[in-house]
């Protein structure tokens, strides 16, 4: 089978002098022989441990140069090797949940030589991507999708009369999401040939790992046990009393040694837990399971960061890491003294909590990423990490708000999409005073389209009762958080990933006047109406255009007076936002002008109607024409086109 994308061939590689040490044959002699899973399957089992050691070193060196998700990948080395060794991929389907642990999968499927391009413009994606390789059976980035997708593929295989196997890998964290249980509940009612591999690297569902567990796993996954178990069910089904006694006895026996009762009740044959770093045990168990029919669940226990001391000691730091020194684990300097918007939020919520004991913070498993570490330590009783359960997080906040608390939901823009119904039905419809602190708004850089918050201004502004703000700098972010917190209805402050322009932050908790824009530069003919982070680029472009610049601040409610005044005094209004043009802030301005009966010329700049692939955030903004140069040229083209049209009429 021909791969869609295998990377450059050996003949087309860069000269050896240009290659990094991680790609030299002497450094990884066995790994260099594996260019496809077929090569891996030709290796004897005795060599797999050597391959695992080389793969782990390669991952450390590779990610140290590109940045990426390291800890989860190190923990899944043996599991990845075993899966590709036992199953006939890509004909057998292998689906990775989230994709944080898929780097070795990419390496073993013909993309090793391209790993130096990981998460970079025009390079390999940081997650499985169907367009990238035939081995990437399902595109992911968000959690808890693998079981649903795998079940769909298993059903399709059965309909086609195919004997292909389907394996869905899911982590213990992703298993906390409701979708995972919805999929398990459905799969257990079907006779689909689906293997779910629960990669348990943190939650420790059971400590029962070791020789006995591995032995039991091999026994319970064997054909003899499965045959006897299935046959006994058929015989005893005609003797209800005896069957119930046998069922309870089996549950009692298994419950003493394996924590599988829940999965068994859902209709899965539960196997495990086994040591996910014991290649021999994992390979033997997977071979047994490959021969079994129906829904199976294998529970493997692994360690995040396995084999790399800095990542073992601090897996959270190495969850998503920038470039670092592989010898020490130390990261390089960021190159800026500016505080991130996440840090601004983290400071604000602690200050506001100290002033108001009604404040509670909720996050769906994003404490570090959302800036809530200090809050969780200082106000532990008022901090709620609900796991990967975005829908629950929003309705939980609604319940709290109904009885007098003041919830702040810290959530990424792209994850809030998952709780859209709850946002409408449970919060906005009841006009509850909940503040949504939305991180990672707009384009997010290396994580690409799966994590881009490109649509929040569009999907939030159409909701009644919602107040929606986008800060242009760090100080404005803090003031907007105070503004939203004090409102009697739902409010959202949406801010981008990373640092702001470096504005000094007032330590106070004073709000902004609701729905009021700010004139930043007075010019002629052209007015730039900026929503959020593109303000600095707009001001730079405005100097060349001699344009007026207004920091709109509020997407909802819009400053109607300001827009009307600008429309009356300028020949062209230009809206600028780090959001999809479709349905975004620019559309809000267009709707307002139409409602006012104004026929002002309007140019809307934002993210075009397509997904923007991974690159640096700066490269993505330039691609969308949202940097200073892009804004200047787009406006100039619009003006030139209008002049040409007028001349044609004359």
pLDDT (tens digit per residue) in 3-36: 333 233 333 333 333 334 444 445 899 999 999 9
pLDDT of residue 241: 63
Distance of CA 629 to the CA centre of its chain: 30
pLDDT of residue 201: 83
Buried b / exposed e along 487-497 (16+ C-beta atoms within 10 A): eebbbbbbbbb
pLDDT confidence bin for 94, thresholds 50/70/90: very high
pLDDT of residue 27: 86
Give me the mean pLDDT over the 374-395 stretch.
Answer: 96
pLDDT confidence bin for 176, thresholds 50/70/90: confident
Q: What is the pLDDT of residues 552-567, one digit of tens each?
A: 999 999 999 999 999 9
Q: How far is it, in rounded angstroms, from Cα 510 to Cα 512?
A: 7
Above 90 in pLDDT, residue 255? no
pLDDT confidence bin for 222, thresholds 50/70/90: low
Buried b / exposed e along 42-53 (16+ C-beta atoms within 10 A): ebeeeebeebbe
Above 70 in pLDDT, residue 211? no
> Which residue of the set 78, 132, 264, 390 is catalytic?
390
Helix count (H) and strand count (E) of the chain? 26, 17
Above 50 in pLDDT, residue 516? yes
pLDDT confidence bin for 62, thresholds 50/70/90: very high
Above 80 in pLDDT, residue 309? yes
Looking at the DSSP assignment, which residues form a beta bridge with residue 435?
408, 491
Give me the mean pLDDT over the 471-492 stretch.
Answer: 98
Q: Taking all residues of the chain, what is their mean pLDDT, rounded to a whole number?
A: 89
pLDDT of residue 122: 96
> Which residue of the set 113, 119, 165, 304 is catalytic?
304
pLDDT confidence bin for 606, thresholds 50/70/90: very high
Query: Which of the two residues, 448 and 249, has the higher pLDDT score?
Result: 448
pLDDT confidence bin for 536, thresholds 50/70/90: very high
pLDDT confidence bin for 72, thresholds 50/70/90: very high
pLDDT of residue 23: 42
Q: Answer whether 311's CB lies under 8 Å from 318's CB.
A: yes
Per the annotation, the verdict on 250 as an active-site residue is: no
pLDDT of residue 5: 34
Backbone angles phi, psi at 433, to 5 degrees: -80, 80
pLDDT confidence bin for 264, thresholds 50/70/90: confident
Above 80 in pLDDT, residue 231? no
Q: Answer whether 285's CB lies under 8 Å from 24's CB.
A: no
Above 50 in pLDDT, residue 76? yes
pLDDT of residue 417: 97
Strand 194-200 versus strand 296-301 pairing type: parallel
Per the annotation, the verdict on 304 as an active-site residue is: yes
Percent of the residues in the chain that have a pLDDT greater than 90, as a whole number: 78
In this prediction the pTM is 0.87
Q: What is the pLDDT of residues 316-334, one digit of tens each?
A: 889 889 999 999 999 865 4
Which residues, including other chains, have CB under 8 Å from residue 267's CB and lie 6 or more apart?
187, 188, 189, 295
Structure tokens at 244: 């119930």
> Which residue of the set 112, 418, 440, 497 is catalytic?
418
Nearest to 402 by CA among 490, 463, 462: 490
pLDDT of residue 338: 76
Above 90 in pLDDT, residue 357? yes
Please report, for residues 132, 143, 205, 607, the alpha-carbon distance to residue 443 in angstroms, rounded to integers and kept in the order given. Answer: 21, 19, 36, 9
Per the annotation, the verdict on 418 as an active-site residue is: yes
pLDDT of residue 175: 87
Above 90 in pLDDT, residue 256? no
Which residues, including other chains, have CB under 8 Å from residue 606's CB and lie 6 or more apart?
575, 576, 577, 578, 579, 580, 581, 584, 585, 586, 624, 626
């Amino acid at each position: 089978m021909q791969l869609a994308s295998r990377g450059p061939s050996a003949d087309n590689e860069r000269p050896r002098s240009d290659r990094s040490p991680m790609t030299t044959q002497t450094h990884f002699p066995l790994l260099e022989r594996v260019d496809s899973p077929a090569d891996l399957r030709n290796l004897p089992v005795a060599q797999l441990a050597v391959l695992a050691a080389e793969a782990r070193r390669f991952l450390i060196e590779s990610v140290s140069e590109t940045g990426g998700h390291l800890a989860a990948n190190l923990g899944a080395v043996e599991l990845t090797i075993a899966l590709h060794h036992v199953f006939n991929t890509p004909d057998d389907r292998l689906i990775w949940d989230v994709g944080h642990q898929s780097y070795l999968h990419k390496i073993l499927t013909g993309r090793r030589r391209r790993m130096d391009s990981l998460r970079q413009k025009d390079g390999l994606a940081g997650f499985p991507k169907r367009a990238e390789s035939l081995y990437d059976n399902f595109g992911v980035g968000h959690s808890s999708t693998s079981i649903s997708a795998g079940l769909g593929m298993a059903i399709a295989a059965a309909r086609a009369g195919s004997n292909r196997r389907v394996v869905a890998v899911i982590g213990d964290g992703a298993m906390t999401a409701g979708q995972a249980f919805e999929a398990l509940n459905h799969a257990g009612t079907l006779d689909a040939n689906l293997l779910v591999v629960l990669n348990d690297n943190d939650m420790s569902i059971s400590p029962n790992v070791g020789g006995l567990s591995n032995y039991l796993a091999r026994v319970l996954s064997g054909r003899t046990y499965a045959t006897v178990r299935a046959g006994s069910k058929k015989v005893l089904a005609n003797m209800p009393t005896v069957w119930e006694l046998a069922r309870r006895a089996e549950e009692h026996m298994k419950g003493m040694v394996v924590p599988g009762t829940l999965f068994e009740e859902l209709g899965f044959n539960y196997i495990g837990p086994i040591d996910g770093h014991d290649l021999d045990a994992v390979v033997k168990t997977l071979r047994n399971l490959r021969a079994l029919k129906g829904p199976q669940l294998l529970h493997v226990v692994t360690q995040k960061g396995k084999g790399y001391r800095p990542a073992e000691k601090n897996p959270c730091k190495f969850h998503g890491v920038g470039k670092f020194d592989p010898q020490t684990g130390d990261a390089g300097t960021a190159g800026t003294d500016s505080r991130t918007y996440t840090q601004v939020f983290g400071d604000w919520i602690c200050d506001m909590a100290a002033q108001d004991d009604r404040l509670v913070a909720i996050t769906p498993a994003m404490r570090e990423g959302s800036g809530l570490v200090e809050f969780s330590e200082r106000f532990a009783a008022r901090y709620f990490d609900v796991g990967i359960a975005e829908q629950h997080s929003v309705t939980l906040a609604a319940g709290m708000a109904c009885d007098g608390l003041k919830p702040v939901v810290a959530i990424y823009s792209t994850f809030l999409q998952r709780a859209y119904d709850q946002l409408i039905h449970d919060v906005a419809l009841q006009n509850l005073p909940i503040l949504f602190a939305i991180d990672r708004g707009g384009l997010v850089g290396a994580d690409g389209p799966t994590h881009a918050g490109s649509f929040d201004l569009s999907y939030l502004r159409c909701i009644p009762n919602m107040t929606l703000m986008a800060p242009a700098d760090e100080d404005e972010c803090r003031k907007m958080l105070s503004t939203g917190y004090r409102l009697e209805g739902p409010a959202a402050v949406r801010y981008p990933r990373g640092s702001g322009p470096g504005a000094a932050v007032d330590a106070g908790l004073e709000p902004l006047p609701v729905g009021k824009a700010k004139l930043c530069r007075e010019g002629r003919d052209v007015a730039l109406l900026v929503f959020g982070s593109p303000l600095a680029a707009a001001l730079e472009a405005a100097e060349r255009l001699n344009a007026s610049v207004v920091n709109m601040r509020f997407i909802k409610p819009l400053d109607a007076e300001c827009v009307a005044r600008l429309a009356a005094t300028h020949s062209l209004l230009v809206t600028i936002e780090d959001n999809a043009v479709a349905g975004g802030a620019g559309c809000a301005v267009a709707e307002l002008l139409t409602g006012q009966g104004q026929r002002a010329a309007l140019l809307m700049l934002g993210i075009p109607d397509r997904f923007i692939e991974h690159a640096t955030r700066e490269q993505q903004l330039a691609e969308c024409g949202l940097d200073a140069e892009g804004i200047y040229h787009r406006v100039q083209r619009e003006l030139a086109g209008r002049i040409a049209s007028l001349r044609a009429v004359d």
